[in-house]
């Protein structure tokens, strides 16, 4: 579909920090074939993006962390979904549901290959072939997660521990109680992805910046945390969701001057998490 690289690895060749950041949903590569297949304009497809979330990792990378940033648009393939989360109705050939993971995300139209959005309904004029589905997995999904796994292994070999921060952005959440809306959500798959101490540090940094933060609600993390988080083996994985209105304009389209402050906050989280661990003294697994 495209000759563009599926992702970039940013930061030093030899890790200077035990922290790895991943950005799966900020890709802005829309191959011509994808746009031709769409029944909606590109502006609708862009609603799937975590708009400019790739810019949020810049400070952490400058401080020595590594980041793996996807380039392919989420409309083509969602890198935070299990490769089995395929809606059979999206595939041209008749395929069996056996071996597929028909999750709630798939039923909502947001599986591995996004199918529809509430604001505009069905996204595509027709179905894709199974060959095309397998090709997208092979050129984007598989190498992206292989790169994360390889980098985490290299980091752990150096520091004795590795911490993955999966970076996302979310629509503004409704105000449900006094004190204003939650502006950041930290997810750890309800304890399966990371030690509680890792989440506690991230939340304390965010609260220290004067922002309301929630734990696992409404976003606990997805496939990336399920696949890579192994706290008992000293590989911790958390997801951080920024309210997009913190760093985008009123239309949630373009970055504002606050983007740099949000990037500094993520850099501070990365730095504080890196400081949790000393060589040879890893945090106790839970």
pLDDT over 90 at 2, yes or no: no
Handedness of CA 230, 232, 236, 239 (dihedral sign): positive
Domain-located, residue 34? yes
Domain-located, residue 252? yes
Average pLDDT over residues 254-279: 92
> Helix, strand, coil % (nearest 5) of the chain?
35, 20, 45
> How many domains is the chain partitioned into structurally?
1
pLDDT over 70 at 196, yes or no: yes
Domain-located, residue 99? no
Confidence of residue 119 (pLDDT cuts 50, 70, 90): confident
> In whole numbers, what is the pLDDT of the chain averaged over residues?
93
Question: For a pLDDT cut of 90, what percent of the chain falls above it?
Answer: 88
Q: What is the pLDDT of residue 175?
A: 75
Closest CA to 240 of 172, 197, 188, 192: 188
- CATH assignment at residue 232: 3.40.630.40
- Each residue of 33-59: pLDDT tens digit? 999 999 999 999 999 999 999 999 999
Q: What is the pLDDT of residue 63?
A: 94
Domain-located, residue 219? yes
List Cα–Cα distances, 256 to 53, 170, 241, 260, 285, in angstroms: 13, 16, 18, 9, 40
Q: What is the pLDDT of residue 53?
A: 98
Q: What is the pLDDT of residue 284?
A: 40
Tokens representing 8 are: 């970039």
Question: Residue 153 and residue 183: Cα distance in Å, rounded?
Answer: 32
- Alpha helix segments (H runs only) across the chain: 32-37, 42-45, 58-62, 104-107, 130-136, 142-159, 196-208, 223-228, 258-274
10 DSSP β-pair partners:
67
- Each residue of 136-193: pLDDT tens digit? 999 999 999 999 999 999 999 999 999 999 999 999 998 776 678 999 999 999 999 9
Domain-located, residue 133? no
Quote the pTM value.
Answer: 0.94
Domain-located, residue 31? yes
Residue 29: give the domain boundaries. Answer: 7-77+145-274
Q: How far is CA 73 from the centre of its chain?
A: 12
Average pLDDT over residues 224-234: 97
Question: Residue 217 and residue 280: Cα distance in Å, rounded?
Answer: 34
Starting at the edge strand that comes first in sequence, how are the strands of the sheet with 213-215 ordered? 7-10, 66-70, 19-23, 162-170, 235-243, 184-187, 213-215
Residue 191: HSE in the Cβ half-sphere, 13 Å Cα cutoff: 3
Non-local (6+) Cβ contacts of 22 within 8 A are: 67, 68, 69, 148, 164, 165, 166, 167, 224
Instruction: Report DSSP state, residue 282.
Output: P
Average pLDDT over residues 215-227: 97
Confidence of residue 265 (pLDDT cuts 50, 70, 90): very high
Domain-located, residue 104? no
pLDDT over 50 at 286, yes or no: no
Domain-located, residue 103? no
List Cα–Cα distances, 132 to 83, 125, 139, 143, in angstroms: 13, 15, 11, 16
Please check whether residue 79 is in contact with residue 46, taking contact to mean a CB–CB distance below 8 angstroms: no
């Amino acid at each position: 579909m495209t000759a563009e690289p599926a992702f970039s690895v940013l930061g030093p060749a030899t890790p200077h920090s035990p922290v790895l950041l991943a950005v799966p949903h900020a890709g802005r590569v829309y191959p011509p074939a994808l746009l031709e297949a769409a029944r909606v304009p590109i502006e609708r497809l862009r609603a799937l993006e975590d708009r400019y979330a790739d810019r949020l990792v810049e400070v952490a990378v400058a401080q020595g962390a590594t980041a793996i940033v996807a380039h392919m648009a989420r409309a083509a393939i969602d890198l935070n979904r299990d490769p089995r989360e395929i809606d059979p109705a999206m595939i041209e050939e008749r395929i069996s549901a056996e071996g597929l993971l028909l999750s709630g995300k798939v039923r909502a139209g947001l599986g591995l290959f996004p199918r529809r959005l509430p604001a505009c309904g069905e996204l595509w004029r027709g179905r894709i072939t199974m060959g095309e589905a397998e090709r997208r997995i092979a050129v984007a999904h598989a190498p992206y997660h292989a790169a994360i796994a390889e980098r985490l292994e290299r980091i752990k070999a150096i520091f004795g521990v590795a911490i993955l921060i999966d970076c996302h952005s979310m629509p503004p959440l409704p105000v449900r109680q006094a004190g204003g809306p939650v502006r950041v959500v930290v997810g750890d798959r309800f304890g399966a992805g990371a030690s509680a101490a890792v989440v506690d540090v991230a939340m304390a940094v965010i609260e220290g910046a004067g922002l309301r933060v929630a734990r696992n609600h409404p976003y606990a993390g997805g496939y990336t945390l399920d696949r890579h988080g192994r706290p008992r083996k000293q590989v911790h994985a958390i997801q951080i969701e920024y309210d997009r209105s913190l760093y985008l304009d009123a239309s949630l389209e373009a970055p504002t001057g606050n983007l740099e402050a949000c990037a500094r906050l993520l850099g501070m989280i990365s730095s504080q998490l890196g400081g949790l661990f000393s060589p040879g003294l890893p945090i106790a697994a839970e």
